[in-house]
Amino acid sequence: MKYIIDKKDEKLNYHEILSNLPLITSTEAIDDLLNLLHFCKGQLQTIRVYFGVEAKVMEALFKIGSQSAENFQIVKSALIKFIDDYSGILGDLNYLEMSILRIEEQLILNQSAGSTLGLALQEYAAIKERELVQL
C-alpha cells in the first residue's frame, strides 16, 4: 500500500496491485488502509481507478471489523476519526457512517450464528450425557 501512495501514479494498474487487499485481516493494516483511502479520495482523478481502490479498501475494513467486537471498535474509531479529520477536505464522507453500521450488522450476524451453533453443540452434549446416564 505504501508503494502506491509513494508512487502517486494514476497509470499504475491498481486493480492488479490491490487484488489481494480484501484478504487483509489484521487491525495493524487499518492506518495504511485509511491512508490509501485518503490518497485515492484526494489524489486520484480517474473515477474508475478511484472507485476500484475505494471498494477494495472498504472491503478490507469490512472484513477486519466484522471478525470480532474488539476489531469492530478499532475500525469504528478509525473511521470516525477519518470522517472528523477529512470531512471538509475530502468532501462528503457520511457514507462511511453507513459502512460502520454495515460492519456492526455483520458482526452481530456472525456472533449470533456462532452463538446458535454453540448452543446447539451444548444441547447435543447434554443429550449424549443423558443417554449415557440412562444406560
111's enclosing H/E stretch is: helix 95-134
d(C-alpha 9, C-alpha 51), whole Å: 16
Q: What is the mean pLDDT of residues 21-44?
A: 82
Summarised one tens digit per residue, pLDDT across range 91-126 is 888 899 999 999 999 998 887 766 677 777 777 777
Which is higher by pLDDT, 15 or 40? 40
The strand ranges marked E within 26-130 are none
Domain total in the chain? 1
What pLDDT, on the 0 to 100 scale, is given for residue 55? Answer: 84
**How much is the pTM?**
0.71
Average pLDDT over residues 62-82: 95
End-to-end CA distance of the chain: 62
The domain of 11 spans 2-134
